[in-house]
Amino acid sequence: MPLSLNDAQTVIEQARAHSDDLGVPMNIAVVDGGGHLLAFARMDGAILGSIDIALTKAKTSILFDSPSENLWEYCKPGGPAPATEYTNGGLIPYAGGIPLHDETGTLIGAIGVSGGLPAQDGEVARAGAAATV
Amino acid sequence: MPLSLNDAQTVIEQARAHSDDLGVPMNIAVVDGGGHLLAFARMDGAILGSIDIALTKAKTSILFDSPSENLWEYCKPGGPAPATEYTNGGLIPYAGGIPLHDETGTLIGAIGVSGGLPAQDGEVARAGAAATV
Amino acid sequence: MPLSLNDAQTVIEQARAHSDDLGVPMNIAVVDGGGHLLAFARMDGAILGSIDIALTKAKTSILFDSPSENLWEYCKPGGPAPATEYTNGGLIPYAGGIPLHDETGTLIGAIGVSGGLPAQDGEVARAGAAATV
Amino acid sequence: MPLSLNDAQTVIEQARAHSDDLGVPMNIAVVDGGGHLLAFARMDGAILGSIDIALTKAKTSILFDSPSENLWEYCKPGGPAPATEYTNGGLIPYAGGIPLHDETGTLIGAIGVSGGLPAQDGEVARAGAAATV
């Protein structure tokens, strides 16, 4: 089953709740399994430059079917695949993007979060992603 | 007062309600007064190609502080400013984008809607924009 | 069911056979339901400038879930949606792109063909698309 | 002699056979001597983000008439030409791209492979390139 808009909004709501707990306003994007935008919310006070980063983290998670930070093992200095973060029109190799799968394991979307430190972004993304489990 | 996320979501909710009345699923974007994305919703079944068009209609309305279709008078064949629709990385010169102003007349954002015929998109955008009045 | 590579290659084989009948070498692209490239073949002698056009016709068909030429009714001079062909990073509003659906009606991909006159491109695309029926 | 489509498909078939042996699904691109796309295949299960990387490895091999990983000696930290990997709209400085030459040594194309670890991509690319020897 593809993600519905209601599903996507539930993902965003849970991510927002966790952001409120942290006290850090976030940009939160949800895309479908092909990487096309489904829903987005910029929380009051979230950094403008993080809009694009949230969108790109979601894209990164779709393109590699993996949390965005996993890309770092490949593209980091000394890693086997330097400059991979500059492919595909730009990728983000740190935390905040999480792929979403249905009960059959099919990739149905991703959440991308940006606005805090990467560790915070990743925490909020996982809180949002948990809504689809 | 800048638009809050709650304001933007109310704009989207009213636009969605009108789309449901028309029976045409829409892509609905709300941007702030600087044109930066605030909130977005793709209704179930809305056309993928209209995501970019909804975003671009909102951008068009911010850049000209005007409903997107007003651009047509300038850029249409025989008009005074042909090709203006290709400036600014691409603009949309038909209905579906509406600027949002606060009670002092300050431009605080825009809604962009795409998914139906331009007349339907414009109707839905106006329904959404009415939420801020 | 998503398109497999074998499915995509069958689509290309049938399109090639029809191109051979016409005597016009074509560029033939097959993308998945999210618009991501699955398979491509440039027939010997096909025009280089048509590689991008074939890819863009497939994209157009995914984004509007429609044969690429249907876009023309919207964006043509006097049509309701001028300049739509310049959205989404560029679209093609003439024949040669056909969406592919599974037996449940789900959009699972598209074929894009370019190299001849648009009418020929459309004929070849339909011959390829028939492989998925 | 330029590469024919049949040649390109033989290259892809041999690369696919080696990918099957490794058990890693790959994206495989073949371009002509000018870098223009000739044939492409995404094996079932191959990573979406590797489509662009496969295409870029083939481009890298054409532009430097060299296996893609040779670029690393120039652009690596401490190397003589840092940031070269960001020229030409983006290059890939690790294994998976191999130039193809005819019996006179003329550059007639390249294969680009991505989907596994760089060492695996390079192995598969060499298996494909061997088809033209």
A-to-B residue pairs, Cβ atoms closer than 8 angstroms: 38
CA gap C39, C29 in Å, rounded:
6
Res D132: pLDDT: 82
- Ramachandran quadrant class, A44 (left: phi over 0; alpha: psi -120 to 50; beta: rest): beta
Residue A133: band (very low, low, confident or very high) from pLDDT cuts 50, 70, 90: low
B5 with A38: Cβ contact below 8 A: no
3-state SS, residue D110: strand
Taking all residues of chain C, what is their mean pLDDT, rounded to a whole number? 96
Q: Between C49-64 and B49-64, two packed helices, what is the crossing angle to 10 degrees?
A: 90
Q: How does strand A107-114 pair with strand B27-32?
A: unpaired
In this predicted structure, the answer to whether residue B101 has a pLDDT above a threshold of 90 is yes
Res B1: pLDDT: 82
When CB atoms are compared, the residue of B5, B40, B43 closest to A37 is B40
Taking all residues of chain B, what is their mean pLDDT, rounded to a whole number? 96
In this predicted structure, the answer to whether residue B130 has a pLDDT above a threshold of 70 is yes
Q: What is the pLDDT of residues A75-118, one digit of tens each?
A: 999 999 999 999 999 999 999 999 999 999 999 999 999 999 99
In this predicted structure, the answer to whether residue B31 has a pLDDT above a threshold of 90 is yes
Q: What is the pLDDT of residues C103-114, one digit of tens each?
A: 999 999 999 999
C34 reaches A (C-beta below 8 A): yes
Residues of C in contact with B119 (CB under 8 A): 80
D43 reaches C (C-beta below 8 A): yes
Q: How does strand A97-101 pair with strand A37-42?
A: unpaired
In this predicted structure, the answer to whether residue B133 has a pLDDT above a threshold of 90 is no
Q: What is the pLDDT of residues B1-17, one digit of tens each?
A: 899 999 999 999 999 99
Neighbours of chain C (3+ CB pairs under 8 A): A, B, D
CATH code linked to domain D5-132: 3.30.450.150
Q: What is the pLDDT of residues A29-81, one digit of tens each?
A: 999 999 999 999 999 999 999 999 999 999 999 999 999 999 999 999 999 99
D42 reaches A (C-beta below 8 A): no
Taking all residues of chain A, what is their mean pLDDT, rounded to a whole number? 97
Residue D133: band (very low, low, confident or very high) from pLDDT cuts 50, 70, 90: low
Residue A1: band (very low, low, confident or very high) from pLDDT cuts 50, 70, 90: confident
In this predicted structure, the answer to whether residue C133 has a pLDDT above a threshold of 70 is no
Res B3: pLDDT: 96
In this predicted structure, the answer to whether residue C48 has a pLDDT above a threshold of 90 is yes
ipTM score: 0.96
Res D1: pLDDT: 82
Res C132: pLDDT: 82
When CB atoms are compared, the residue of A36, A44, A51 closest to B5 is A44
Residue A132: band (very low, low, confident or very high) from pLDDT cuts 50, 70, 90: confident
Percent of chain D whose predicted confidence (pLDDT) is above 90: 96
Q: What is the DSSP string of C64-126?
A: HTS-GGGGHHHHSTTSSSTTGGGSTT----SSSEEEEE-TT--EEEEEEEESS-HHHHHHHHH
Q: What is the pLDDT of residues B43-82, one digit of tens each?
A: 999 999 999 999 999 999 999 999 999 999 999 999 999 9
Q: What is the pLDDT of residues C29-40, one digit of tens each?
A: 999 999 999 999
Average pLDDT score over residue span D56-82:
96
Res A88: pLDDT: 97
Question: Which residues have CB under 8 Å from A44's CB, separation 6+?
Answer: A25, B4, B5
